[in-house]
Amino acid sequence: MITAKIFEKLGVKAIWVVAILLALAIAVPMSNLLLPVGHPLRVPNYLVPLMGQYLTYATLALALDLVWGYCGILSLGHGAFFALGGYAMGMYLMRQIGTRGVYSNAVLPDFMVFLGWRELPWYWQGFDMFWFAAIMMAFVPGLLAFIFGWFAFRSRVTGVYLSIITQALTYALMLAFFRNDMGFGGNNGLTDFRDILGAPIPAATTRASLFAASAILLALCFILCSLIVRSKLGKVMVAVRDAESRTRFIGYRVENVKLFAFTVSAVMAGLAGALYVPQVGIINPGEFAPANSIEVVIWTAVGGRGTLVGPIIGAIVVNAAKSYFTGTFADLWLFILGGMFVFVTLFMPKGIVGIFTSTWSALQQRRASASAEKGVDTEPPTPPAQKPQPRQSNDAPDGAKPSPAE
């Protein structure tokens, strides 16, 4: 019963997207692990973590679309939530190294021993347990978003001013994490990971499992976002996006709606960052850079904001193009990225999904009009209406010949 209700609320398109993601979660690992090397259908080893990174980027873009596409909040700091989730995972992975590190310290990571730390900081406690680290991956980004949103939305900061503040937030975190005395590895960050949940990270099975986890996370986040935007709350979010003042005058607590969407979006971004780190092998303060958050905006715009499917497509397309052009035309990539954003803004304001949607609607209308015209041509002609005959009067006018009945 519950599953049937969820399917009913999701809609056909969302079910298809989730089915494709779950199929990828099964097909790609099986192709990589079961098919022999050289088989045309086998996914190479290097491509599995790369595709996993694309899926984590897609989850991040989906998180941004929830607040920007449906609530009208243009956040230029979502990279901060992504990086915080990544650092939580990195702290867990560093604690798993133990005596296998360079300095063979069972408690302190290598960078702490190198910098002369005597004991583990209090905020590193508990990260040797995966369940605690998993909670922190969602809790820390969500808490930061809740505190930030509480003050920002209740102060009614909107528009470009809110965007600038979110950008300042991620920039401040980047500067803080660059400091060695913060206890997060400074400029070098956290790296040299060995295993996760007892499985060696470089192993093909672990890489395939991380890819499957990334696909499943994206599917779950897509289900959550679909349920939200198709609910009454989702309609209120759209009302806040289109007419915030009117929505407030009607009686809705606009700041609570924004706070909910912003917090949920931050949690999704943090979980995406957590799965990103073991597939990349490093997390450093560069992930907090404002340019990374701006790139997420470009992914969402290219795919089509306010569509849920669009950000997923945009993140995969743009990052695939980045992987190609940075290897072929490394010096031109930033110009290509900027030109792509300008082109989409001017000529494709609804993104890739918007182009397909408008094209499909035009085809449907053309088919409907053609069917209507065909129906008019094939209808049998209606006979002309006969005019009623005038009734003859018994009183003949003067000079008229009387009828024989008279």
Give DSSP secondary structure letters for 239-254.
HHHH-HHHHHHHT--H
Which pLDDT score is estimated for 382? 57
Query: Does 47 reside within a domain?
Result: yes
**CA distances for 118 relative to 113, 114, 121, 124, 183, angstroms:** 8, 10, 9, 13, 12
Query: Does 85 reside within a domain?
Result: yes
Residue type, 313: I
Residue segments in the chain with a per-residue pLDDT below the cut of 70: 1-4, 375-406
Give DSSP secondary structure letters for 356-381.
HHHHHHHHHHHHHHHHHHHHHHHSPP
**CA distances for 44 relative to 30, 33, 35, 129, 204, angstroms:** 12, 10, 10, 32, 10
Query: Does 55 reside within a domain?
Result: yes
**CA distances for 351 relative to 304, 340, 341, angstroms:** 4, 11, 10
Query: Does 1 reside within a domain?
Result: no
Q: Which two tokens stand for residue 212?
A: 């499957």
User: Can you list the positions of beta strands (E) in 201-351?
Assistant: 282-283
296 is in which domain, residue-wise?
8-359
**Nearest Cα to Cα of residue 199 among 278, 83, 101:** 278
Which pLDDT score is estimated for 401? 46
- Which residues fall within 8 angstroms of residue 187, CB to CB, at 6 or more apart? 178, 284, 285
User: How many domains does the chain contain in total?
Assistant: 1
Distance of CA 263 to the CA centre of its chain: 14
Query: Does 128 reside within a domain?
Result: yes
**Nearest Cα to Cα of residue 52 among 282, 219, 209:** 209
Greatest CA separation for the chain: 137
pLDDT tens digits, 37-50: 989 999 999 999 99
Query: Does 270 reside within a domain?
Result: yes
Answer whether 128's CB lies under 8 Å from 92's CB: yes
Query: Does 394 reside within a domain?
Result: no
Answer whether 141's CB lies under 8 Å from 263's CB: no
pLDDT tens digits, 126-149: 999 999 999 999 999 999 999 999
Answer whether 144's CB lies under 8 Å from 80's CB: yes
**Nearest Cα to Cα of residue 54 among 13, 24, 19:** 24
Tokens 């692990």, residue located: 33
Query: Does 271 reside within a domain?
Result: yes
- Which residues fall within 8 angstroms of residue 125, CB to CB, at 6 or more apart? none
Which pLDDT score is estimated for 373? 77
Which pLDDT score is estimated for 390? 55
pTM: 0.87
